[in-house]
Amino acid sequence: AQKITQTQPGMFVQEKEAVTLDCTYDTSDPSYGLFWYKQPSSGEMIFLIYQGSYDQQNATEGRYSLNFQKARKSANLVISASQLGDSAMYFCAMREVSYGQNFVFGPGTRLSVLP
Amino acid sequence: GAGVSQSPSNKVTEKGKDVELRCDPISGHTALYWYRQSLGQGLEFLIYFQGNSAPDKSGLPSDRFSAERTGGSVSTLTIQRTQQEDSAVYLCASSLAGQGVAGELFFGEGSRLTVL
């Protein structure tokens, strides 16, 4: 079974609007971390935001916020005020303590920001 | 440099040849990961090193793939008898240990392997 599911292969958003990228995960480990990475066409992997399973509040980093719904096992990334430079692949990832801290990535969502 | 360094950045080889890809992690990072990314695809986990512990090799796709990490720092991923399906970008990442589930991965720029 897939540990990380990203159901949106591609998304379009108008510049300056907000967009939500979906991520659901599967784990029985009570302790885990959730991460979002951005990969522009240049290929580099850029860390965006982190959410711990025990964190009470949703994580925020500038224009990025993580909508963490633990009971539903979802960790959606919200990008506010989209910019043309946000066009990239976005990967959701999870690290579980009980799996030797292996980092598992989802298949990614390609976001295109339209002018 | 301060980041994860990978070499070569590009490698073109003939089918059947062996290749070695090198990763130099951030100084002080005890965790090191190798991933493979085929064109337009996600990241496929290959192998994970943590300090002096036995590596997690569960992601290596075949016995043609091996990796070692010398002195807890530099790692080499070796692919023997390369096949065309090995063509991909090989990404190395490192992270600090002792942070539980926190602590993001820092990635290198990757080694693009093309097998003709």
Each residue of B59-93: pLDDT tens digit?
Answer: 999 999 999 998 878 999 999 999 999 999 999 99
- pLDDT, residue A41, reads 92
From chain B, the residues in CB contact with A35 under 8 A are 104-105
Q: What is the pLDDT of residues B21-54, one digit of tens each?
A: 999 999 989 899 999 999 888 899 999 998 888 8
Q: Work out the percent of chain A whose per-residue pLDDT is above 90.
A: 83
Instruction: Out of A31, A44, A91, name the one closest to residue B101 (CB).
Output: A31
Residue B1 has pLDDT above 60, yes or no: no
Instruction: Measure in Å the smallest separation between the Cα of A1 and chain B Cα atoms.
Output: 15
Instruction: Measure in Å the smallest separation between the Cα of B107 and chain A Cα atoms.
Output: 6
**Of the candidates B11, B7, B29, B13, the residue with the CA atom closest to the CA atom of residue B76:** B7
Distance in angstroms (rounded) separating the CA atoms of residues A97 and A114: 39
From chain B, the residues in CB contact with A97 under 8 A are 100-101
